[in-house]
Structure 1
């Protein structure tokens, strides 16, 4: 199993008490999302941010990476993909938490597109749930079995926010509502935000919603006048 790593942004306060891990989309790499960490330092001054590169080179975008292959021809490829990629991601999360002396409740996973698939799949299967999972433009991947199959009993469950563009041409907006309903079936309540007029991407409103969601999840008070 290959180790993964990527760009990092250290805590603004100089003392990390939380860890935010960005999981990029298909054909991108960690550099695609780490800038968000720089933007969120004022909201989360005690957070370290890291955006690992996915373990595989992307066949459709050789300069980018993928968590797992996507052909769009096999209805089960996402399920098999998240299962295959999860051990590599789990090992990375374990190492990052251990070297900081943090527990799972100090962790937040932030995904985009394929990265959201990984964040939800892996986060919901950690022995102890991360504090928060924030998913942009993605979907909860369900397997052929029951929606809650192969999941430990996480108590409490993670806080979850799903953010999606109303005009997403790659993963339609319906995916957000289907994911929220499936999470509810797993007893994992999910908040959601729809970005009007947005395609497959992240807009400023989504970034602000995400930052405030993470701050609230970690119990961080945000004072807008003093950011």
Structure 2
């Protein structure tokens, strides 16, 4: 992989959170800095990594891409995404090992093509990240099973014409049917951008959403009342 911007906590110890930000096609790591700064403000002890896409953007003079969109179709998108995902998973595991950050404290935060990569990584590698925040993204193919160890937060602009919001709605419906842990927030009047309203909602989700697996673990640990039909 090419360069990676890093924003590391001042204590230089094991970070309590690792956030990996994945940019859109034709962009670069610097394009994710406004989001990174917002996350750093709210989570100052988190380590933030912003890697550059694997390859040079093949449809313009500048920028990077995770996979090519030249001549892309519904049929050839999945294998392209799968190839990028395999490369990214190797990179992510190495980053987690280097920073001694566990998968449970890792969040993948992607925009557009970066969101596709994040969602498909969570789909193929359940639990490699505890959370995914997918801004203006979609699945390469709607899932046939739901991750059980990863919470998915879908964030979209209602006026997005590049990646229509119907993709997010379809994803949420499918995940709900499959018993996944997912949320969806759609901002009216917002297009295909990392809008401050969506960033604010993402931070709210990170702070307030309790993963279903946490509830289930708590319920499983709670003592059960024994009822024998007598009078109590």
TM range (shorter): 0.7 to 0.9
Q: 1:73 to 1:14 in 2, by over 3 A?
A: closer
- Contact kept? 1:132, 1:217, Cα under 8 Å: no
CA apart distance, 1:140: 1.5
SS of the residue corresponding to residue 33 of structure 2 reads: helix
- Contact kept? 2:126, 2:149, Cα under 8 Å: no
| Structure of larger gyration radius | 2
- Contact kept? 1:24, 1:32, Cα under 8 Å: yes
Q: 1:201 to 1:55 in 2, by over 3 A?
A: same
Corresponding position of 2:124: 125
Corresponding position of 2:198: 206
CA distance in 2, matches of 1:218, 1:106: 14
Greater RCO, 1 or 2 (C-alpha within 8 Å, sep 6+) = 1
Superposition RMSD in Å: 2.2
CA distance in 2, matches of 1:215, 1:51: 21
Stretch of structure 1 that moved more, 9-18 or 100-109:
9-18
Q: 1:210 to 1:190 in 2, by over 3 A?
A: same
CA apart distance, 1:23: 0.8
Corresponding position of 1:76: 75
Corresponding position of 1:182: 174
CA distance in 2, matches of 1:139, 1:59: 21
Corresponding position of 2:106: 107
Corresponding position of 2:115: 116
Equivalent in 144, 147, 164 of residue 148 of structure 1: 144
CA distance in 1, matches of 2:207, 2:11: 15
CA apart distance, 1:108: 0.2
Corresponding position of 1:10: 8
CA apart distance, 1:36: 1.5
- Contact kept? 1:18, 1:48, Cα under 8 Å: yes
Equivalent in 161, 164, 181 of residue 153 of structure 2: 161
- In proportion to residue count, which structure has more helix? 2
CA distance in 2, matches of 1:4, 1:95: 14
- Contact kept? 1:9, 1:34, Cα under 8 Å: no
Residue correspondences, number: 210
CA apart distance, 1:214: 2.3
Corresponding position of 2:229: none
CA apart distance, 1:5: 3.6
- Contact kept? 2:157, 2:190, Cα under 8 Å: yes
**Mapping for residues 53-92 of structure 1, pairs under 5 Å:** 53-71=52-70, 73-92=72-91
Q: Can you give the 5+ residue segments of structure 1 that lack an aligned partner in the other structure?
A: 220-227
- Contact kept? 2:9, 2:45, Cα under 8 Å: yes
CA distance in 2, matches of 1:159, 1:194: 17
Q: 1:13 to 1:29 in 2, by over 3 A?
A: same
Q: Can you give the 5+ residue segments of structure 2 that lack an aligned partner in the other structure?
A: 212-232
**Mapping for residues 30-45 of structure 1, pairs under 5 Å:** 30-45=29-44
